[in-house]
Amino acid sequence: MTRKLFLIGMAVVTAVLATHLLLTILDTAVAAAPTDTLVLYDGALGGTPDTQNFEYAAVNPTFPFPPAQATQTYSPALQATILDTTPEIGDLAGYAVTPTLAPILDRQVGFRLDFSMRIHSEDHNNNDRAGFSITMLSEDLLGIELAFWENEIWAQEGGDPPNLFTHAEGVAYDTTASMVDYELEMVEDVYQLSANGVPILSGMLRDYTAWEPPFPFVPDPYEQPNLIALSDNTSSAQGEIWIAYVAITTETTPLLNVNPINLTVSEAAGTAVLNVQLSYTSTFTVTVGYETVPGTAVPGIDYTPISGTLTFPPGLTSQNLAIPILDNTLDEPDREFTLTIADPTFARLGQSSAAITIQDDDEIIVDPLMEVYLPLVVRP
Ligand SMILES: [Ca+2]
Ligand SMILES: [Ca+2]
Ligand SMILES: [Ca+2]
Ligand SMILES: [Ca+2]
């Protein structure tokens, strides 16, 4: 079994190539990115991915280790790189981001790989293998390896052998028809793949660390944090793949904000209405807990406490919370309490609390006599 040797070879190559000169060139490219999106390869700029933020390796791991016949060719007409492993099925070839350049891929705040590509052709002699795969691992080594066939995209199973690296959930999809803009997002424990803006496949993240290199001196790519690799990593399949664009974006989950931060209502208002808003639409279903926290205002006397969970289906970005305010006839100071949100899923907390002030609307109950005679006393 030689399927994972490509990634091993790539890791070794990475170590060899990590020269000061290379890092200087790559750092320059990274610094140009203005946001938390890091463009890893842009075919419109010209050149193959290894002239930008990727490294390339091609090996034939079968004894006596003949030179790899796989090629990478930049096409000005396509503004893309053609990776071709069809000359020899035994070849392993592809790209990985230099570990020192990879951003931290934190599942709790989410990250997303955007890639534009077309499977020109793909062929495999094993139901559990594919001529092209995208592998992305989080900082804590959970991730997904997606296999691309001409007519299906599917996930490699994780865990322990014999299930490890077998054909798991997939979706029928024509990967050959045209260049497709894919988005592979990971948040918390799940991944979701979209094609041209439409979610097509999702599932749980996998743990591939049970795989072990066949030689103790080579590093294990499945135990390399923040791994991003695009490759034919098997001797059981081959393909011709056109790659036009790859970028990684971190902190992809939206922020949850309570508005307004300070709200003043009359005791007679009936309700205090607060708004909970997502900073942008999520393709995941976002939830967040909420509850009222007493201050000088007393639950059951000044307001009716509320608590629960808000759910934002994909597309919904705003919801209101109405807190019942209780009226009375006592003259009293203004009273305050707080609404807080906590424990979000598929989102981050932004402004997580709001202070509500209940203004008293009752007047001093004066002695009727005073009310009648006081004006007479003060009148000149
Ligand atoms: Ca391992
Ligand atoms: Ca191959
Ligand atoms: Ca009142
Ligand atoms: Ca009152």
- Domain boundary, last residue among 250, 272, 288: 250
Residues 162 and 303 both lie in one domain: no
Ligand number, closest to the Cα atom of 358 = 4
Q: Can you tell me the distance from the alpha carbon of 193 to that of 243, in angstroms, rounded to the nearest whole number?
A: 17
CATH code for the domain of 263: 2.60.40.2030
Containing structural domain, residue 167: 5-250
Residues 340 and 282 both lie in one domain: yes
Residues 246 and 268 both lie in one domain: no
Residue 187 pLDDT exceeds 90: yes
> Is the C-alpha dihedral spanning 248, 250, 256, 260 positive or negative?
negative
H-helix or E-strand spanning residue 202: strand 198-204
Using the mean position of ligand 3's atoms as its centre, give its distance from the Cα of residue 369 in Å.
Answer: 23
Residues 198 and 55 both lie in one domain: yes
- Look at residue 78 and tell me if it is in a domain: yes
Ligand number, closest to the Cα atom of 327 = 3
Domain total in the chain:
2
Residue 373 neighbours by CB distance under 10 Å: 11
Residues 89 and 209 both lie in one domain: yes
Per-residue pLDDT, 286: 96
Which tokens go with 229? 């690799």
Q: Is the peptide bond before 64 cis (omega within 30 degrees of 0)?
A: yes
Ligand number, closest to the Cα atom of 208 = 1
* R_g of the chain, CA atoms, integer Å: 30
Using the mean position of ligand 4's atoms as its centre, give its distance from the Cα of residue 325 in Å.
Answer: 11
Per-residue model confidence as pLDDT tens digits over 146-160: 999 999 999 999 999
| Residues paired with residue 83 on neighbouring β-strands, in sequence order | 72, 241
Using the mean position of ligand 3's atoms as its centre, give its distance from the Cα of residue 330 in Å.
Answer: 7
Ligand number, closest to the Cα atom of 334 = 4
- Look at residue 187 and tell me if it is in a domain: yes
Q: Provide the pLDDT confidence category of residue 368 given band limits of 50, 70 and 90.
A: low
Residues 169 and 271 both lie in one domain: no
Per-residue pLDDT, 365: 64
Residue 98 pLDDT exceeds 60: yes
Residues 261 and 231 both lie in one domain: no
Q: Is 247 helix (H, G, I), strand (E, B) or coil?
A: strand
Q: Provide the pLDDT confidence category of residue 20 given band limits of 50, 70 and 90.
A: very low
Residue 18 pLDDT exceeds 60: no
- Look at residue 373 and tell me if it is in a domain: no
User: Phi and psi at residue 328, in whole multiples of 5°?
Assistant: -150, -175
Q: Is the peptide bond before 375 cis (omega within 30 degrees of 0)?
A: no
- Look at residue 216 and tell me if it is in a domain: yes
Q: Can you tell me the distance from the alpha carbon of 145 to that of 222, in angstroms, rounded to the nearest whole number?
A: 10
Residues 265 and 349 both lie in one domain: yes
- Look at residue 370 and tell me if it is in a domain: no
Residues 154 and 127 both lie in one domain: yes
Residues 44 and 84 both lie in one domain: yes
Using the mean position of ligand 2's atoms as its centre, give its distance from the Cα of residue 10 in Å.
Answer: 14
Which residue in the block uniquely carries the two structure tokens 């598929």? 346
Q: CA 270, 275, 276 angle in degrees (round to 5)?
A: 140
Residues 314 and 197 both lie in one domain: no
- Look at residue 368 and tell me if it is in a domain: no
Residues 107 and 235 both lie in one domain: yes
First to last CA, the chain: 109
Per-residue pLDDT, 219: 80
Q: Provide the pLDDT confidence category of residue 65 given band limits of 50, 70 and 90.
A: confident
Per-residue pLDDT, 103: 95
Per-residue pLDDT, 379: 38
- Look at residue 371 and tell me if it is in a domain: no
Q: What is the mean pLDDT of residues 9-36?
A: 36
CATH code for the domain of 105: 2.60.120.200
- Look at residue 15 and tell me if it is in a domain: yes
